[in-house]
Amino acid sequence: MGEVNPRLLAVILEDLQQELTRWATVASDTMATAGYTQRHAEEQVDQAHRHAAIVNDKAVNDRDAVENLRGQVEVLFSKCVEAKQLSHKTLAETTTALQKAQKTLSLWQTELEYALAWLARAEERVRRAEIELAAAEAELRRAESELSRAESAYRNCVNYRDDKGRRKDCSSEASRVRRAQEAVHDAVLRVKAAQLELAAAKAERERARARVKCCQTAVGIATKAVEFAQEAKERATMAVNASERSLETAQAAQRFMNQAVQKVTEEEEEADQMLKDVQLAANFTSEGQHHFRNAERSEESAQRLRIITRTELDNRIGLLYQLNKPDLSVGGGFSSSSSGIGVRATGGLVTTPTVSKSGWITKDTIMSVDDLPNPEDITGADDFQKVPMEQMQAGLLRLQEMQSAIESGEGSNGDYWSNRDTAEGLEYENGYRRIYDAFYGNDAIHITKNQGVYDITNGRHRIWLAKRMGLKFLPVRLVERSESRDS
């Protein structure tokens, strides 16, 4: 490779840093958006689940209401059918009863006519008998009067003596008396016959009157029966109408019920289909979550690699600029190769390295946990005195959350995390600022590198726990002598 202008190379490496930084920002934003989108989708699915449950419950309730009313309608329909049958039967019976009553009335009306005619005839017979009796009695009186005269004449005749003392011939007077007596006898017989006839006529008249009276009573009763029968038929007709209207209305209710049954079945199908779609949506969302988690892990790994890369580039850019500067008065510094880049990549730095008078270089960097020594004096939770192991574990997990913000620069100061604690209502003991101070403040993990050997000055428990938790990287404050990079 030909000689490269260090200044040009520094610019190129700075540009690469900028591209990496731009990439980091976009990746962080994109992951934030993806996370928000995922949460939003999950919320939508939860909401859809609740909605589906409501829709299903509604369908169940509607089905119950339909079945309940369907039972009532069926009972009503049966009653109305029976009512129609009974009402028609009763109408027939009342019609028959009316016909019978009318027939009875007609019969007795006829009988009454006959009886009245009979009575008229009986009345006439009595009248004639009375006339006959009167005539016979008159005849008798005349006959008795004639007899009286005839007897008087005969007596006169019998008692007559003429001057000579001779009697007259009274045979004619005697004959007249005999005729008169016969006439009286005939008249008496006639009177007796007339009396008998009158008695008979009167008796017949009484029988006729009795007949008329009973027929009149029968007609009255029959008329009442007809009136009752007419009313009964009228009521029966109204009952038929009411039963038929009731049945028609029940049939209409049945039609509405059939419609309701059909629609509730469709409603159940739609609710069921909705539930299935929501479940599928949940499955897809879950799949999205899986992909998101993969992307998240890849992004975290890429971010860490980006941080390490940027730190290495910082180192090289720093060295490149130092190549063009006079040696520092503190001595040491970096030996340069022809390319000016001979430092083995050991980790990344957020801050610019500082050089002490004794030649120790202190820099905040991120180191691979595997490269860190294992604290042999720590074996378990009992060895955690100052801070309980669970609390330290939680702190390390929180650090992982904070890392990308720190390395992107946004969270590279304590005030940022203090503000976040305030926004989230966290006390210092449980907040982000404490974690930041623990790893980037005065209590940071302190590693010394001397002649290629790492030594833990501070943070043994954190390193031990990080190894157990399988963390990949940790922020450390690395102190090394300039000779240490030759190893």
Partner 1 sequence: MEDEIWYMKQQSRVLQEFRRDIQGFWDDEAAREMNVRYLNPHEDDDKQMITGLDGQQNALQEAQIKLASASEHALRAEKLSVEVLEQLELAEQDVSIAYQFYEQYQNYHSHARSFLPEIEKLITEANSVCRGVAKE
22 vs 141, which CB is nearer to partner 1?
22
239 touches partner 1 (CB under 8 A):
yes
Nearer to partner 1, 175 or 262 (CB): 262
- If one counts every other C-beta atom within 10 angstroms of the C-beta of residue 187, the result is 22
Helix (H, G, I), strand (E, B) or coil at 364: strand
Q: Is 67 in the site for partner 1 (CB under 8 A)?
A: no
Distance from C-alpha of 457 to C-alpha of 442, rounded to nearest angstrom = 13
**Residue written as tokens 């008078």?**
357
Q: Which is nearer to partner 1, 155 or 263 (CB)?
A: 263
Applying CB under 8 A, does 408 fall inside the site for partner 1? no
Shortest CA distance to 437 belongs to which of 464, 411, 470, 408?
A: 411
Sole residue written with tokens 């016979």? 136
- 3 state SS of 374: coil
DSSP three-state, residue 102:
helix
Residue 266 lies near partner 1 (rule: CB under 8 A): yes
Identify which of 118, 131, 136, 122 has the alpha carbon closest to the alpha carbon of residue 202: 122
Query: DSSP string of 135-195?
Result: HHHHHHHHHHHHHHHHHHHHHHHHH-B-TT-PBP--HHHHHHHHHHHHHHHHHHHHHHHHH
Query: Cα–Cα distance between 407 and 26 in angstroms, integer?
Result: 14
Of 101, 129, 191, 479, the one binding partner 1 (CB under 8 A) is 101
Report, in Å, the least distance between residue 1 CB and partner 1: 5
Cβ 301 to partner 1, closest distance in Å? 5
Residue 281 or 426 with smaller CB distance to partner 1: 281
* Positions 133 through 192 that interact with partner 1 (CB under 8 A): none
Helices (H) and strands (E) in the chain, counts: 6, 6
203 binds partner 1 (CB under 8 A): no
Q: Which of 14, 60, 76, 153 binds partner 1 (CB under 8 A)?
A: 76
| Contacts with partner 1, 345-384, as mask; x by CB under 8 A | x---------------------------------------
Residues 209-238 that bind partner 1 (CB under 8 A): 210-211, 214-215, 217-219, 221-222, 224-225, 228-229, 231-233, 235-236, 238
Smallest distance from partner 1 to CB 318, Å: 14
Among 16, 81, 174, 193, binds partner 1 (CB under 8 A): 16
Residues in region 305-334 near partner 1 by CB under 8 A: 305-306, 308-309, 312, 316
For the chain, how far is it from start to end, CA to CA, in angstroms?
25
Answer for which of 26, 328, 330, 453 binds partner 1 (CB under 8 A) is 26
Tokens (6 digits) for 369:
């946990």
The encoded tokens of residue 320 equal: 């490149």
Closer Cβ to partner 1, 243 or 365, answer by number: 243
342 makes contact with partner 1 (CB under 8 A): yes
Pick from 127, 149, 167, 245 the residue near partner 1 by CB under 8 A: 245
Which residue, 215 or 399, is less far from partner 1 as judged by CB? 215
How far apart CA 325 and CA 336 sit, in angstroms, is: 12
CB of 319 to partner 1, least distance (A): 10
Compute the Cα dihedral for 146, 152, 158, 160 and give only its sign.
negative
In the complex, what is the shortest distance from the CB of residue 186 to partner 1, in angstroms, rounded to a whole number?
33
Given candidates 3, 53, 71, 97, which one binds partner 1 under the rule CB under 8 A? Answer: 97
Strand-pair category, 354-355 with 360-368: antiparallel
Largest CA distance in the chain: 240
Work out how close the CB of 450 gets to partner 1 at its nearest, in angstroms, rounded to a whole number.
23
What is the rounded CA–CA span in Å between residue 243 and residue 251? 12
Helix 389-408 and helix 460-469, axial crossing angle in degrees, nearest 10: 90
**Nearest distance, CB of residue 256 and partner 1, angstroms:** 4
65 binds partner 1 (CB under 8 A): yes
- Residue 22: CB minimum distance to partner 1, A: 6
- 400 touching partner 1, by CB under 8 A: no
- The answer to whether the CB of 444 falls within 8 A of the CB of 458 is yes
Spatial distance between the Cα atoms of 170 and 153, rounded to a whole number of angstroms: 9
Q: Which of 150, 183, 194, 285 binds partner 1 (CB under 8 A)?
A: 285
Query: Residue 434 contacts by C-beta under 8 Å, 6 or more apart in sequence?
Result: 395, 428
- Using CB under 8 A as the binding criterion, the count of chain residues that bind partner 1 stands at 132
Rounded to a whole number of angstroms, the minimum distance from the CB of residue 242 to partner 1 is 4
Q: How far is the CB of 485 from partner 1 (least distance, A)?
A: 12
